[in-house]
A = this chain, B = another copy of it.
Amino acid sequence: MLFDQITIVGVGLIGGSVGLAAKVRGVARRIVGVGREPRSLARAVELGAIHSGTCDLVEGVRHAGLIVVCTPVDQIAEIIVQAAQNCLRGVIFTDGGSTKGSIVARVAGNLPEGIEFVPAHPLAGSEKSGPENAQSELFVKRTTVVTPIPTNSPAAIERVVQFWQALGSTVLMMSPDDHDRALAATSHLPHALAAALAGMTPIDLLSLTAGGFRDVTRIAAGDPRMWVPIFQANRESVLTALAAFTDRISDFRRMLEAGDGAGLVRWLTEAKQVRDALGS
């Protein structure tokens, strides 16, 4: 039992899975959910993701030892700053946001003495959303990136690392900026590419798609209200990654125009080597 009470703000796919995993693995005695829609909280209680839910942030965080903020990224910093005025001294915040730099910047200097925020990003999720898609095993064999900030105490970092490990994930530590640059390339750019491909495809061509199109575009079914804030929070790195992609696909175009078969084989082989290294 790492915590007596944890409070999860935003009980959707990630927040709901944090609740289920924490319950199943005995991470906390009591799990409270905070959300905007009473119906969604009631559903999360039914599904066993939280013990109780409230729409009142102040009430929900009051007795928590750990507060996990799993809302869209543009709301995380404000929630932490606001909740921090109303919770136990010694409480620790962590989050599940897909970007880190802008959240860290907005929280910096705005926490009362003795309250810490140790940012995190579990590399898990799917194109689905909502607590009904939450899974207690979502974090198992997945990486959670923890991005400590200069003011974090070693003790708080350790507690947060233990928490994400207790949910089943492997923790990797890096700076918020390194995280954002890397994830722009490995997650945010892929999402934009999948959405561009899906968005340009006429519905009447869908009968002529097979597994490849299905795989490439799967994440385009993700919730736009979750993804737009991610792109905006990580704008510079996403634009940099997109420029690198544009260069790479331009090489393909030029070789195809020139009939450079050997060049195309090399280009595809480089891609295959990377993908093979990832495994199925």
A residues lining the B interface (CB < 8 Å): 123-127, 142-143, 145, 172, 182-183, 185-187, 189-201, 203, 205-225, 227-228, 231-232, 235, 238-239, 242, 244-249, 252-253, 256-257, 259, 261, 264-265, 267-272, 274-278, 280
Contacts and interface: CB of A to CB of B under 8 A. Distances in A.
A137 to B, nearest CB: 13
26 contacts: A125-B211, A142-B210, A185-B201, A186-B208, A190-B212, A196-B248, A196-B249, A197-B245, A198-B271, A198-B272, A200-B247, A203-B274, A212-B218, A214-B278, A217-B278, A220-B274, A221-B272, A221-B275, A223-B272, A224-B268, A224-B269, A227-B268, A228-B264, A235-B257, A246-B246, A246-B249
B182 A205 contact: yes
Most B-side CB within 10 Å, residue of A143, A225, A245, A256: A256
Contact of A265 (B199, B217, B224, B256): B224
A280 to B, nearest CB: 8
Contact of A239 (B172, B222, B256): B256
A216 B214 contact: no
A256 B231 contact: yes
Given A211-B125, A216-B215, A198 B274 contact: yes
B215 A187 contact: no
Contacts of A221: 272, 275-276, 280
Contacts of A203: 274, 277
A21 to B, nearest CB: 16
A81 to B, nearest CB: 22
4 A-B pairs closest in CB distance? A224-B268, A199-B271, A195-B271, A123-B210
A274 B199 contact: yes
Contacts of A187: 208-210, 212-213
A252 B192 contact: yes
A193 B216 contact: yes
Contacts of A248: 196-197, 199-200
Nearest to A204: B182
A172 to B, nearest CB: 7
